[in-house]
Structure formats: structure tokens, C-alpha cells
């Protein structure tokens, strides 16, 4: 499929002299001597009552347009906008499948995930995990001589090194697959054409065309539109990850994934952290039992929790900030030196010129069908820019699926079971349906729960908070969902994803031998607990 890029086209050779064409009896015969052409017989004649399948005129036009595009001169078979986990995975997969691929990135390769999201936060959380263990060293029979304290500068330097290494890996992979990385900002000038404008004098202005375009422009942090949200010291996750000193105290607005992780991180680093959430629970989108357990643990750690508290405004009070909130009909305030707005994200599409290409969107969030195709045929969108807030692994899964689709290969990714992961201590992870969701769909369920305090590895590790919950279909014993709060939850959830993908039953999960002692034994134990419950129909 690798086509000759337009800018590398060979200069047109002089047209060869054509020899005299041999006589063509059809063309040369006088018109009146030609018999009326008869239709060629079909290889398999239609039966009398058989009809040809109806053709959708829309499909025919789309197919014709596609053929025209593929035949027309273009720079790339596939052009990807954005080098985050959606974009770079799509680019590499398309190149692996033989496409000539370009990838436009205006900032750093790796996107939010690698530079301002998953990786920097997890690098810092690993540092505080070491401290957490050091504080408990005596429990493990270790005497530490002298004191220890976090060196935030050194933690940040470690984080930066990790990011730099991974960024290099991404660049290397793209290079290895002959993906042309084009620095600059992309803007649509037509359905299949974009203008690339260099940023910070890197690269050159270019006009590019492609048969397929994949938009993977990601998202940007959003601030709540309240008075004072632009005061100095009111920041988003982007700025918090740039801080060089740990503040004395911090108010985190929003108890979703980003908010809970940062509240936990800064608490462990020594700041007084307060979480302020308008919904009646932390991690409101997760299973209620899991949210309640997290809430209990956060309080136990000493993190301030203001639940059902709506941020009204932020005021400056000397060199400090005051977050004014209403709760149970009363107005109150909490002071801090920093206020983190962990209150959602929005698609990063303002500068993309979507309207110039006629790409439909909802206030910037790109509309796509189940194959991630936009309203413009041959233009796809994946990752955060189609949902505002997402997961890196979902963006990568969509990138793989679209790359396979546009190179005419059957999609290999199953996007129906996407795990959610939270890297607090203990960790939280979930996939599939919660009991409430299944019951709302009219499915009768049984739920098995297993607590880590009864798990050998958890006891040995001294890490025994939390539990695994497995939701099964009462009629078929098929696993419908799994929620975990506990050690290594984000790794353990992989087994549950596979169980859902392969339609595993309780017996199949229990029947697979799990090594002992491991945290992973908690999953079949939870499944066993569900098996031992009487069927509701019995």
C-alpha cells in the first residue's frame, strides 16, 4: 500500500511515442453493422424468484469517492494528528500494515499520558510508596538509623528522566516503522487536507493531503467557571506537575481519578490535603462499596473530605486562597496555598479547523460512529477528543482498531471491556458491570466478595486492605463485572478483562490454577464465593 508521496514524485518522463494501434473491429466498424450488444450471461444464472441484493446508493458514492482519493496524488495514506497514546499507536499499527504514514505533533511525543498525565503521576506515586514503606520499616523488622524525608526536587528529576526515556522510545518506534514525524500544529483546510504551522520555529509550514486522517488531538484541563478560578495559585494538573516545592496545604476540587490521586500524593508528600466533591461520594462513577471503602481509607489517612460540597467561588486572603463552598444549605470556606481544579477536561479541538472540513462536533467534542469514523468519510477520531476524559489504553485500543480498518484489515481489538484504574494506596480497578448496573438492565446477579485480609500474599506483604467483588449472571454463571480495591488492583484487573472478553464462567475462572501465594488468588476466591451462593432460582 505504500504509495509514492506527492512531494517525492518522480519528474514526469516525456510521453513515449505510441506505435500505430492495431485495428479495433468494434471501433472501426460502421455503426449500422454493429449488432445491439447483449448482456453477458451471469456465471451463475439467477433463479426465477431470485433478485440481486439492493445496493445502497450512499455506499456506492462512498466507494467511488474512496477510489478517487486513493487514485489522486496525496502525501500520505494515513495522516495522524497528535502523538499521544492514541495517535502514536495508530501510526505505528498503520505502518506495520503497510501504509505510508505521517504524524503531526505540536508538543512532545507521548501526549498528555506520557508528559502531563499517567506517567509523571505514577512516577511520583512510586516515590511516595517507597516512603510509605520506609515509615513502616519497623513492622517488617528493619531499623532505620537516622531520619528520612522526601526530596521533592530529586523525585521530580527522577520523573523527568523516566519521561525522557519513554519519549525516546516512542520516537525510536516511530522511526523504526518509517512514520514521518512532522512537528507543528495541524489545521484542516479541506476534508482530506491540513496545513501544518511550525511552533517555536521548529519545522516548516506545509500543506499535506492524505487518503485517511486520524484525529488524536486529546484533551485539555478545564476549570470550573466560578469567580476566582483565574487567581494565581488556582491551578490545573498541568501546572501542579510543574511545581518544584510541596505546598503547606492544598484544596483539590473534584474527587474523580485525577483529584483522588493528587490528594493522596500531596498528603503523602506532607501537605495538608482537602478533597472537595459536589457529588455525594468519592469516585462517584465507581461501585458504591468501592467508593465508600476509599472514602473510609482517605479519612483514616488524614485527608480532609468535603463530600456533597459545591464550590461557589475562590477568594484571595492575603497570600492564601479560600475555597468557598456550600454544603447542606450552609456556606463554609477552607483555606490553602494552592487550589487544584481536577474538574474534568475538554476536547483539544479549538484550533483544528473542524468546520473547514465539515467534521461534526458537539461543542468541540468530535462525533464518531462505532468505527470511530467522523461525519467525513475517511476521517477518523480517537481518544480523549471524542469523549473529553478517557483512558490512555482506550485511546490506544481505538488507534489500533482504526489503523486496521483503514488498511483494510479485520480489527483485532475488543473495545467492549475497558478497565478503569486509580493509583491510590490501595489501588482501585474495575471492569464490566457493577451489580447495580446489571440489575438496572434486568439481569439477576449473584456477587462474590473476597477480602485481601484472607489472602496469604497480602498477609506476607503487610498489604491487606480491600477486597475483590465479582458480579455473575445468576442464570448462566458468566462473569459480568469485577471491582477491586486492594494491592496491585490495577494489575489484577487484567485477568477480569480477559474473563469478560472470553465470556468466562465462575467454574472456568476457579478451574484455572493460580500460583500461590499471589494477590491474583483473590479473583478465583471471589468467584468461588459467588458459586457457593445459592442460585436465586433454586
By the rule CB under 6 A, 117 interacts with ligand FAD: yes
What gap in Å lies between CA 211 and CA 79, rounded to an integer? 8
Q: The cell 474534568 sits on which residue?
A: 344
Reduced to 3 states (helix: H, G, I; strand: E, B; else coil), residue 1 is coil
Please tell me whether residue 366 binds ligand FAD under the rule CB under 6 A.
no
Query: Residue 429 or 509: which CB sits closer to ligand FAD?
Result: 429
Burial class (CB in 10 A: 0-12, 13-18, 19+), 267: buried
Half-sphere exposure in the Cβ direction for 401 (13 Å, CA): 19
Question: Per-residue string for binding with ligand FAD, 404-443, x by CB under 6 A?
Answer: -----------------x-x--------------------
Q: Is 81 in the site for ligand FAD (CB under 6 A)?
A: yes
Give Cα 297 distance to the centre of its chain: 27
| DSSP-assigned letter for residue 116 | H
Q: How far apart are CA 269 and CA 490, in angstroms?
A: 22
Would you count residue 286 as binding ligand FAD (CB under 6 A)?
Answer: no
For the bound state, the minimum distance from the C-beta of residue 163 to ligand FAD, rounded and expressed in Å, comes to 13
Site for ligand FAD in 178-207 (CB under 6 A): 185-186
For residue 15, the number of C-alpha atoms closer than 13 Å in the C-beta half-sphere is 3
Q: Which stretch binds ligand FAD (CB under 6 A): 51-59, 107-115, 329-337, 357-365?
A: 107-115
Output the smallest distance, CB 164 to ligand FAD, in A. 16
With beta carbons less than 8 A apart as the criterion, state whether 524 and 514 touch: yes
The set of residues, in sequence order, having a beta carbon less than 8 Å from that of 528 and lying 6+ positions away, is 448, 450, 506, 510
138: phi then psi, degrees, rounded to nearest 5: -55, -40
Answer yes or no whether residue 107 interacts with ligand FAD by CB under 6 A: yes
Collapsing DSSP to helix, strand or coil, 158 comes out as helix
Rounded Cα distance between 110 and 116, Å, is 9
State the nearest-atom distance from the C-beta of 142 to ligand FAD, in Å: 30
**Using the rule CB under 6 A, is 487 a contact of ligand FAD?**
no
Between 421 and 523, whose beta carbon lies closer to ligand FAD? 421
Does 118 bind ligand FAD (CB under 6 A)? Our answer is: yes
| Region binding ligand FAD by CB under 6 A among candidate stretches 32-40, 116-124, 442-450, 474-482 | 116-124
Q: Which of 216, 252, 340, 359 binds ligand FAD (CB under 6 A)?
A: 216
**Binding status of residue 256 toward ligand FAD by CB under 6 A:** no
Residue closer to ligand FAD, measured from CB, 216 or 273: 216
Given a contact cutoff of 8 angstroms between Cβ atoms, the answer to whether 313 and 324 are in contact is yes
Nearer to ligand FAD, 218 or 448 (CB): 218
Interaction residues for ligand FAD, span 306-365 (CB under 6 A): 348, 351-352
Q: Binding of ligand FAD at residue 105 (CB under 6 A)?
A: yes
Annotated catalytic residues are 516
Q: Give the helix ranges, DSSP H, for 302-434.
A: 354-357, 392-406
Q: Which of 78, 99, 104, 340 binds ligand FAD (CB under 6 A)?
A: 104
Structure-derived torsion over alpha carbons of residues 377, 382, 388, 392, reported in degrees to the nearest 10? 180
Residue ranges in 379-398 that form contacts with ligand FAD under rule CB under 6 A: 383-384, 390-393, 395
CB of 349 to ligand FAD, least distance (A): 7
Q: What is the DSSP string of 327-354?
A: ETTEEEEEEESEEEE-S-EEES-TTS-H
Distance (Å) of CA 456 to CA 127, 449, 485, 524: 26, 16, 17, 14
DSSP state of 107: S
Closer by beta carbon to ligand FAD, 350 or else 441: 350
Residue 467 binds ligand FAD (CB under 6 A): no
Question: Which residue's CB is nearer to ligand FAD, number 58 or number 165?
Answer: 165
Stretch that binds ligand FAD, among 64-72, 76-84, 329-337, 479-487 (CB under 6 A): 76-84
Indicate the burial class of 50 (C-beta count within 10 angstroms; 0-12, 13-18, 19 or more).
exposed
Alpha-carbon gap, residue 418 to 431, rounded angstroms? 6
Q: Which of 91, 179, 208, 217 binds ligand FAD (CB under 6 A)?
A: 217
The residue from 76, 85, 314, 529 that contacts ligand FAD (CB under 6 A) is 85
Instruction: Give phi and psi for 81, each to the nearest 5.
Output: -105, 110
Q: Does 272 bind ligand FAD (CB under 6 A)?
A: no
| Residue number with CB closer to ligand FAD (183 or 486) | 183
**Residue 122: CB minimum distance to ligand FAD, A:** 6
Cα gap 404→399, rounded to integer Å: 9
Contact positions toward ligand FAD, by CB under 6 A? 81-87, 104-107, 111-113, 117-118, 121, 185-186, 216-219, 237, 258, 348, 351-352, 383-384, 390-393, 395, 421, 423
Amino acid at each position: 500500500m505504500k504509495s509514492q508521496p506527492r512531494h517525492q514524485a518522480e519528474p514526469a518522463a516525456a510521453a513515449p511515442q505510441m506505435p500505430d494501434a492495431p485495428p479495433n473491429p468494434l471501433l472501426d466498424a460502421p455503426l449500422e453493422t454493429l449488432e445491439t450488444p447483449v448482456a453477458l450471461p451471469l456465471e451463475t444464472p439467477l433463479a426465477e424468484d431470485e433478485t440481486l441484493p439492493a445496493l445502497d446508493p450512499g455506499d456506492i458514492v462512498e466507494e467511488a469517492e474512496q477510489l478517487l482519493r486513493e487514485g489522486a496524488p496525496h502525501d500520505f495514506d494515513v495522516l495522524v494528528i497528535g502523538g499521544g497514546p492514541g495517535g502514536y499507536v495508530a501510526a505505528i499499527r498503520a505502518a506495520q500494515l503497510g501504509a505510508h504514514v505521517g504524524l503531526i505533533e505540536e508538543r512532545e511525543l507521548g501526549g498528555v499520558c506520557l508528559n502531563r498525565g499517567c506517567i509523571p503521576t505514577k512516577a511520583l506515586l512510586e516515590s511516595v510508596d517507597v516512603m510509605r514503606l520506609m515509615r513502616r520499616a519497623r513492622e517488617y523488622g528493619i531499623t532505620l538509623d537516622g531520619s528520612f524525608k522526601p526530596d521533592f526536587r530529586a523525585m521530580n528529576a527522577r520523573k523527568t528522566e523516566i519521561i525522557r526515556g519513554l519519549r525516546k522510545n516512542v520516537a525510536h518506534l516511530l522511526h523504526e516503522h518509517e512514520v514521518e514525524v512532522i512537528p507543528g500544529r495541524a489545521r484542516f483546510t479541506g476534508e482530506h487536507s491540513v496545513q501544518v504551522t511550525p511552533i517555536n520555529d521548529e519545522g516548516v509550514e506545509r500543506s499535506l493531503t492524505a487518503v485517511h486522517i486520524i484525529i488524536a488531538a486529546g484533551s485539555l484541563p478545564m476549570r470550573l467557571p466560578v469567580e476566582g478560578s483565574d487567581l494565581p495559585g488556582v491551578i490545573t494538573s498541568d501546572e501542579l506537575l510543574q511545581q518544584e516545592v510541596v505546598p503547606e496545604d492544598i484544596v483539590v476540587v473534584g474527587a474523580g481519578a485525577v483529584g483522588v490521586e493528587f490528594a493522596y500524593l500531596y498528603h503523602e508528600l506532607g501537605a495538608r490535603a482537602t478533597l472537595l466533591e459536589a457529588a455525594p461520594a468519592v469516585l462517584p462513577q465507581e461501585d458504591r462499596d468501592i467508593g465508600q471503602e476509599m472514602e473510609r481509607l482517605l479519612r483514616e489517612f488524614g485527608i480532609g473530605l468535603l463530600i456533597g460540597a459545591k464550590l461557589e467561588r475562590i477568594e484571595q486572603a492575603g497570600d492564601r486562597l479560600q475555597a468557598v463552598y456550600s454544603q447542606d444549605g450552609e456556606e463554609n470556606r477552607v483555606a490553602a496555598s494552592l487550589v487544584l481544579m481536577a474538574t474534568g477536561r475538554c476536547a483539544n479541538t479549538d484550533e483544528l479547523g473542524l468546520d473547514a472540513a465539515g467534521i461534526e462536533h458537539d461543542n468541540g467534542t468530535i462525533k464518531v460512529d462505532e468505527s470511530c469514523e467522523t461525519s467525513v468519510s475517511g476521517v477518523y477520531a480517537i481518544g480523549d477528543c471524542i469523549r473529553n476524559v478517557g483512558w490512555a489504553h482506550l485511546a490506544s485500543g481505538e488507534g489500533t482498531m482504526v489503523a486496521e480498518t483503514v488498511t483494510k484489515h479485520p480489527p483485532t481489538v475488543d473495545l467492549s471491556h475497558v478497565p478503569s484504574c486509580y493509583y491510590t494506596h490501595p489501588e482501585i480497578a474495575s471492569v464490566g458491570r457493577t451489580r447495580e448496573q446489571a440489575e438496572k438492565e434486568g439481569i439477576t446477579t449473584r456477587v462474590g466478595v473476597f477480602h485481601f485480609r484472607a489472602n496469604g500474599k497480602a498477609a506476607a506483604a503487610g498489604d491487606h486492605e480491600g477486597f475483590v467483588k465479582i458480579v455473575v449472571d445468576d442464570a448462566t454463571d458468566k462473569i459480568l463485572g469485577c471491582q477491586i480495591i486492594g494491592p496491585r488492583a490495577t494489575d489484577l484487573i487484567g485477568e477480569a478483562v480477559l474473563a469478560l472478553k472470553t465470556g468466562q464462567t465462575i467454574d472456568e475462572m476457579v478451574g484455572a490454577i493460580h500460583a500461590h501465594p499471589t494477590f491474583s488468588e483473590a479473583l478465583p476466591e471471589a468467584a468461588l464465593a459467588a458459586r457457593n451462593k445459592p442460585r436465586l432460582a433454586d
